[in-house]
Structure 1
Amino acid sequence: MSRNQNQPKYRAIEDYLRSRIISGEFAVDTLLPTEEMLCARFGVSRATVRTALSNIQADGLIVRSPAVGSRVIASTRRRAFQAGWNSVEDLLQHTKAVSLHVQAINEIVMGTGMAEDVGFAAGRSVVRVEGVRWNEFETDQPICYVEIFFDALYNEISPRIGTAGLPIADLIEDQYQVRIERIKQEVSAGRLAPATAAMLGAEENASSLIIKRWYFDNNDRMFEMTRSQYPADRFRYVVDFGRSSDDAPRA
C-alpha cells in the first residue's frame, strides 16, 4: 500500500477511514475495522491507531466503546466537538488530539474559597494554567476554555506546557514518574462569563457545559485538577452502552 512517507502514520489511517466513511463504504450504523486489524494493515502500534480514531471521533463521524468497537454515526463532519471517553487512556488520547493555547501560567497559593472548589488544601502552592483548547480540524474557533491546577512540587514542567505537544499529566509522569491511576469527573451546566466568552469568540452569558476532573496517583493522592467550559453548541458527549456477559438473556 502506497502512502506519503512524510505523512504522519496516524494521518494515513485517518485519511483511509474518513474517505471510506464519507463514500459510504463504511456505512452509518456499521462498525469500523478493529484496532487489531488496523494495526496489522498499517504496521503501526495500537496508540497510533487510537490517535487516528480519536481524531475521527472528534469530527463526529464515529463513537467508540470498548465493548462494541468503533461505530459509524455520521458520514459528514459535525460542527460540535464530540467525545466518548470510557477509560483513562481514552481521555489522555483525546487530550493529545487537541492543542492547548496557553494564556497564562502562574504559581498561586490556594485561598479558602478556591481550595474548596479545586480540591487542594487552603495554603497549598499550586501552578495555575489558563488557556483555550482547539481541535486541529476546527481551526475557526476554540472548543473550550480551560483552567488547570497542579501541585507546585512539579513546577519544573512549566516551560514545556503548551509547547511539548503532551498533556500536563504526561509531562508530570515523564519528569517525576507520577502516573494517573484514576480520574473523578463532574459535569454541570453554566453560563459564559464575559471574559470567557471573549476568549472563545462566543456570546456572553450563553449556555455552557462545565467539566471538572480530579487526577489521582497510585497512592490515591490528588495532584492535578482541570476545569473546562464548553459553549453548548460546541460539544457533544456520546456513550454507547452494551450488555455485559453477566446480563445476557437466560434461556
Structure 2
Amino acid sequence: MKERRKPRYVQIGDALQAGIEDGTYPLGALLPTELELCKSLGISRHTARAALARLSDAGLVLRRPGSGTRVIARRAAMHCACEANSTEQLLQYGKASQMHLLSARRCQAGTDVAEQLCIPPGTEHLHLTGLRRTGADGHPVALTEMLMPIHADTPIAELLDPARAEVALARLLDMSRLASVEQTFDVDVFSAAQARHLDVAPREPALRAQRRYVDNIGRLVMVSTSLHPRERFAHRAVLSRGGH
C-alpha cells in the first residue's frame, strides 16, 4: 500500500527541526517568521503557524508575540505517536461515557491562548468546557477545556448551543477530516473549582491529556486539555510491526 504523504506543515516542521538539531539554527537563534516562511516556501499563514507550533510542542523553541521564535533546545522531548481509526478509539472512552457541555463562549485570546492556537493576541476564539461522565452511573471521569480558532467554516452557532454542541464536535473531529492528532500526557493538580466537578479533593493529583487536532488542509481545529482523577483513567497503546 502506498505510504500516505505527510501534510505540508509537518514536512516544514521536520525540516526546521532538522536545522535545529544539526546546528543550522543554534541555541538562542531566531527561526524565520511566519511571513518569511510564507514568502520563501509559498505556503499559507495557517501552514506556517502549524509548522512552528510543532516545534513549540516538542520543547525546541519558545514563541513570544513580538519577539519571534527562539531556539531553546537541540533535541525534542520524548513523545509517543499512535494511530487510531476513530476519535473514540483515540480518546479511549468509547460508548461508555458521554460529554456534557458546561459552558461555551466566544472570547478574545490572551497571550497564552494565542500561543496555543497560533493566532494573534486579541483574536476571537471559542472556549468550551465539558464534563465527561460514564453512561451507566453518571460518574464524572474527566473535565475538558476546548479552545478553538474560528475559521470561515467553523459551526459557531452549533458549538455554542448545548443541545447541538456534542454532534458538532463529533463532526469536526471525525478522523476522515483530520490529518493528525497529537497527544501529550503529564501531571497536574485540581483547582478547587475543577475538584468540585469531579468529586475529588482540591490539590489532588490529576493526569492531564492535551490533544491538538489538525485538519487535512493543515489548519489547527482544536486544542483540548482533559484532567482525569488518577484512578479513573489509564492509557493503553499497542505497538505492532507494519503490515501485521
**TM-score, length-normalised on structure 1?**
0.54
TM-aligned CA deviation for residue 104 of structure 1: 0.9
Aligned residues of 2:116 and 2:223 also touching (Cα < 8 A): no
Deviation at 1:237, TM superposition (A): 1.1
Task: Tell me the alpha carbon deviations over residues 138-189 of structure 1, each in whole angstroms, 9 at most, x when there is no partner.
Answer: 42x200111111223321322555546536141x479xxx922211111111
Displacement, 1:93?
7.8
Q: How many residues align?
A: 157
Q: How much does 1:114 deviate?
A: 2.5
Counterpart of 1:168 in structure 2 is: 169
Given that 1:95 and 1:167 are in contact with CA atoms closer than 8 Å, whether structure 2 keeps it comes out as no
Indicate the residue corresponding to 1:109 in structure 2: 108
TM-score by length of 2: 0.56
Whether the 8 Å CA contact 1:188–1:209 is kept in 2: the answer is yes
Please show how residues 128-147 of structure 1 align to structure 2 within 5 Å. Answer: 128-139=127-138, 141-147=139-145
* 2:126 partner amino acid: V
| CA shift in 2, pair 1:114/1:245, >3 Å | closer
Structure 1, 142-151 or 121-130: larger mean CA deviation: 121-130
Q: Do the aligned partners of residues 217 and 165 (structure 1) sit closer, same or farther apart at CA in structure 2, a change above 3 Å counting?
A: closer
- What's the counterpart of residue 241 of structure 1? 239
**Counterpart contact for 2:117–2:149, Cα < 8 Å:** no
Q: Which residue of 1 aligns with 2:190?
A: 192
Alignment CA distance shift 1:165-1:152 (3 Å): closer
Structure 2: any 5+ residue segments left out of the alignment?
1-81
> How many angstroms apart in 2 are the aligned matches of 1:184 and 1:120?
19
Shift of 1:97: 4.8
Runs (5+) with no aligned partner, structure 1: 1-84, 247-251
Instruction: Name the CA distance, whole Å, in 2 between partners of 1:112 and 1:164.
Output: 26
Q: Structure 1's 239 and 162: CA in aligned 2 closer, same or farther, altered over 3 A? A: farther
1:207 touches 1:232 (CA, 8 Å); kept in 2? yes
Q: CA RMSD in A?
A: 2.8
Identity of aligned residues (%): 22
Instruction: Name the CA distance, whole Å, in 1 between partners of 2:114 and 2:165.
Output: 29
**What pairs with 1:59-208 in structure 2 (closer than 5 Å)?**
86-87=83-84, 89=86, 90-91=89-90, 94=93, 97-139=96-138, 141-153=139-151, 154=154, 155-161=156-162, 163=164, 165-166=166-167, 168-170=169-171, 172=172, 179-208=177-206
- 1:204-243 mapped onto 2 (5 Å cutoff): 204-243=202-241
Query: How far off its partner does 1:115 sit?
Result: 2.2
1:208–1:230 Cα contact (<8 Å) kept: yes
> Quick one: structure 1 residues 165 and 103, their matched pair in 2 at CA, closer, same or farther if it must change by over 3 Å?
closer
1:3-37 deviation digits (Å, cap 9, x = unpaired): xxxxxxxxxxxxxxxxxxxxxxxxxxxxxxxxxxx
Given that 2:188 and 2:205 are in contact with CA atoms closer than 8 Å, whether structure 1 keeps it comes out as yes
